[in-house]
Amino acid sequence: MCKSTDPKRALFAELAAVARALGHEHRVELLEHLAQGERSVEALARLTGLSMANASQHLQQLRRAGLLEARRDGKFVLYRLADDGVVQLMSVLRQTAERNVASVGALLARYFDGRDGLEPVGRADLVDRAQAGLVTVIDVRPREEFDLGHVPGAVSVPLEELDARLAEFDPATEIVAYCRGAYCLLAVEAVARLRARGFSARRMEDGMPEWRAAGLPVAAG
Amino acid sequence: MCKSTDPKRALFAELAAVARALGHEHRVELLEHLAQGERSVEALARLTGLSMANASQHLQQLRRAGLLEARRDGKFVLYRLADDGVVQLMSVLRQTAERNVASVGALLARYFDGRDGLEPVGRADLVDRAQAGLVTVIDVRPREEFDLGHVPGAVSVPLEELDARLAEFDPATEIVAYCRGAYCLLAVEAVARLRARGFSARRMEDGMPEWRAAGLPVAAG
DNA sequence: ACATCATTCAAGCGATAACTTGAACGTATA
DNA sequence: TATACGTTCAAGTTATCGCTTGAATGATGT
C-alpha cells in the first residue's frame, strides 16, 4: 500500500471540507446567484430570503472553503466566486445528480422537456448566427445582472417587460433566450410566452455562468 | 425573478444532498478505492481501517445519494460507482481544491513536485509510445487491482516487489509508472526509487480511474 | 436443521451544524 | 462628532451527523 498514508488522509479531509461547503441548500443557491457576478451580502440575503446574519455565515463558510472571495466597497462587502472553476464544479455536480438521482431527472424533465419541448441552442452555434443577424438574442435576466455582463449583441428584456415589448421583435426572425444557467427557469418561461404569441423561440442551452466559464466574449454595461 | 421558486429550491436541495455525500473524509476515501472497480464491504473496511458497520453506513449514504450501486454475489455485497461521471466529479473537486485551497496546493507541491520533479506523461502520449516499445509501462498498484483492469501492455509490479525485480527492466528504456489516480502516492514512490537506481522513470499524469473514464482501452486478468 | 460469515438494522452517546437574537465593528453621511 | 447602515461576532437552542455496540437478516456450507 501507500507508504505514507498521512498525506493522503489529509488530502481526503481537505476535499471533503470543500464538498461539505457545497452540502447545503442555501449555499448552493448563493453560489448560483454569485455565478452571475459579485454581489453584496444584502443583495444575496434579499434574493434568497435569508436573514443577513444567516447569509453572512453561509458566505463565510464558502469563503473558508476557498470557493468565494470578498472585497470591501464602501459600506458593502462584495462576494464573488474565487475561480471560474467553481462554475465547472457546480456544473459537474448537476450533471452527476441528473444522471444518478432519479428525482432530479424527473424534476428537470417535468420543468424543461414538458414546457420547452424544442431542442435548445448550443453556444457555438449562437455566436455565428447572432453575428449574421439570423437570430435575435435576448437576455431575460433582471437588468442588473445584464449590466454585469451579457452575451455580445444580446438585448436586455427582463421577463417582466417581455409582454409589453413584443412589438420590438420581428416575427420572421427566430428568438433565442437565455438566463442564468442550464436550469434557470427564466428562459423557459420566456420561450413559452413567445411561442404562445406566435414567435419562433428557443432557449440557449446554458446560461451566463457557463458562457463565462467557457471563455466566450462578454459584453458589459 | 423566477416565477416558480419551488422547483428551483427542490433542485438546490437535491444538489446539496449529493454534495453532502462527498462531504466526509471517509466517504472520499471509499470512493477513491471504488474508482478502481467494485469492492466488497469487508474489503473496503479493511482498506480504510473502518469498522464494518461504519463502512456499511457510509456506503449506504453514498448509495442513497446515487453515487454508488450495489449487487449481491454470494455472501458478499459488492459496491461500485454508479457512473463514470462520479470520477469526473471527484476529479473536478480535486482541481478546485488544488486551485483555491492553499493547504491542498501546498500538500500536493510537497509530495509531488518535491519528490517527483519531472513532468508527468500524458495519457495520449503513452498509448503510442508503449505500442512502439519505446517505454516500459508498469502498474505499481497491488496485483488485486491490476487484475481488475489495467493499461494494455502494462506490467504488474506492486510497489513491494519493485526493489526485487529491478533486473527485469532495461536501463536504456524509459519506465512510466502509474497507480490509482492523479494524487495517489504509489507511482511517485516508485519513480523516486527507480531514479535512485539510475533508471529513467516518469509518472503517468492520471491513474486508472481517469484512464477508464476517458474511455481508453482496459485490459483485464 | 445448524452453524458460520458478511452485511445491515436499531439504539444511544457525543460532537457538529443551522438558525435566531442582540450586540459590536466599520464606513459613509449629516 | 453623531447618526445610520451594512456586516460580522457571540451566545444559545434545536436538529442532524458520526461512531459504537449488540442484535437481526440473508446466503453458504456441513
Task: Answer yes or no: do A67 and A116 share one domain.
Answer: no
Task: Answer yes or no: do B129 and B77 share one domain.
Answer: no
Task: Answer yes or no: do A49 and A119 share one domain.
Answer: no
Contact A142, A161 (CB under 8 A): no
Asked if residue A101 belongs to a domain, the reply is no
Torsion angle in degrees (nearest 10) through CA of A207, A208, A210, A216: 120
Mean residue pLDDT across chain B: 86
Identify all chain A residues contacting B99, using CB atoms and an 8 Å cutoff: 82-83, 85
> Measured in Å, how far apart are chain B's first and last C-alpha atoms?
57
Contact A79, A63 (CB under 8 A): yes
Task: Answer yes or no: do A32 and A117 share one domain.
Answer: no
**Placement of cell 459600506 in the chain:** A75
What CA–CA distance (Å, rounded) separates A24 from B22? Answer: 12
**Within an 8 Å CB–CB cutoff, is residue A22 touching chain B?**
yes
Task: Answer yes or no: do A141 and A71 share one domain.
Answer: no
pLDDT of residue A16: 97
Q: Residue A138 is part of which domain span?
A: 112-213
Strand C reaches within 7 A of the A57 CB? yes
Cβ partners under 8 Å of residue B178, min gap 6: B137, B138, B139, B140, B151, B154, B187, B203, B204, B206, B207, B208, B211
Asked if residue B218 belongs to a domain, the reply is no
pLDDT of residue B113: 57
Kind and range of the H or E run holding B203 = strand B201-203
pLDDT of residue B218: 86
Contact A13, B26 (CB under 8 A): no
Cβ partners under 8 Å of residue A161, min gap 6: none
Q: Give B24-50 pLDDT, tens digit per residue.
A: 999 999 999 998 889 999 999 999 999
* Region class of B120: left (phi > 0), else alpha (psi between -120 and 50), else beta: beta
Strand partners, B69: B80
Closest CA to A35 of A94, A85, A108, A75: A85
> Measured in Å, how far apart are chain A's first and last C-alpha atoms?
56
CB atoms within 10 A of CB A166: 15
Rg (C-alpha) for chain B, rounded Å, is: 19
- Cell triple for A77: 462587502
Identify all chain A residues contacting B29, using CB atoms and an 8 Å cutoff: 8-9, 12
Q: How many residues does chain B have?
A: 221
Instruction: Please report, rounded to whole angstroms, the spatial distance between the CA atom of protein residue A110 and the C1' atom of nucleotide C11.
Output: 40
Complete edge-to-edge strand list for the sheet that includes strand B155-156: B155-156, B135-139, B174-178, B201-203
pLDDT of residue A98: 86
Domain final position from A37, A52, A86: A86
CATH code for the domain in which residue A19 is found: 1.10.10.10
Asked if residue B38 belongs to a domain, the reply is yes
Strand C reaches within 7 A of the B16 CB? no
Burial-class residue B132 by CB neighbours within 10 Å (0-12, 13-18, 19+).
Answer: exposed
pLDDT of residue A116: 53
CATH code for the domain in which residue B183 is found: 3.40.250.10
Q: In angstroms, what separates the C-alpha of B221 from chain A's closest C-alpha?
A: 20
Q: In angstroms, what separates the C-alpha of B90 from chain A's closest C-alpha?
A: 9
CB atoms within 10 A of CB B4: 11
Q: How many residues does chain A have?
A: 221
Rg (C-alpha) for chain A, rounded Å, is: 19
pLDDT of residue B4: 41
Asked if residue B21 belongs to a domain, the reply is yes
Asked if residue B149 belongs to a domain, the reply is yes
Contact A35, A82 (CB under 8 A): no
Q: Give B67-95 pLDDT, tens digit per residue.
A: 999 999 989 999 999 987 898 899 889 88
CB atoms within 10 A of CB B3: 10
pLDDT of residue A112: 62
Statement: residue B186 has pLDDT above 60: yes
Compute the count of residue pairs across chains A and B with CB atoms less than 8 Å apart. Answer: 188
Tens digits of pLDDT across chain A (221 residues): 333 456 788 889 999 999 999 999 999 999 999 988 899 999 999 999 999 999 999 999 999 999 999 999 999 999 999 987 898 899 889 889 988 888 887 877 776 655 555 566 777 778 778 878 889 999 998 888 888 889 988 999 988 889 899 999 998 888 999 988 776 778 887 888 888 888 888 888 788 888 887 888 888 87
Statement: residue B164 has pLDDT above 50: yes
Identity at B143, one-letter amino acid code: R
Task: Answer yes or no: do A116 and A80 share one domain.
Answer: no
Asked if residue A92 belongs to a domain, the reply is no
**Placement of cell 451580502 in the chain:** A41
Domain final position from B64, B83, B102: B83
Asked if residue B187 belongs to a domain, the reply is yes
Identity at B213, one-letter amino acid code: A
Cβ partners under 8 Å of residue A199, min gap 6: A166, A169, A171, A175
Cross-chain Cβ contact B16/A7 below 8 Å: no
Average pLDDT of span B11-18: 94
Strand D reaches within 7 A of the A21 CB? no
CB atoms within 10 A of CB A155: 16
Task: Answer yes or no: do B64 and B150 share one domain.
Answer: no
Q: How many domains does chain B have?
A: 2
Statement: residue B110 has pLDDT above 80: no
Identify all chain B residues contacting A97, using CB atoms and an 8 Å cutoff: 14-15, 18, 66
Closest CA to A96 of B216, B69, B88: B88
Q: Give B127-158 pLDDT, tens digit per residue.
A: 778 878 888 999 998 888 888 889 988 999 98
For A201, which DSSP code? E
Asked if residue A186 belongs to a domain, the reply is yes
Closest CA to B100 of A33, A28, A84: A84
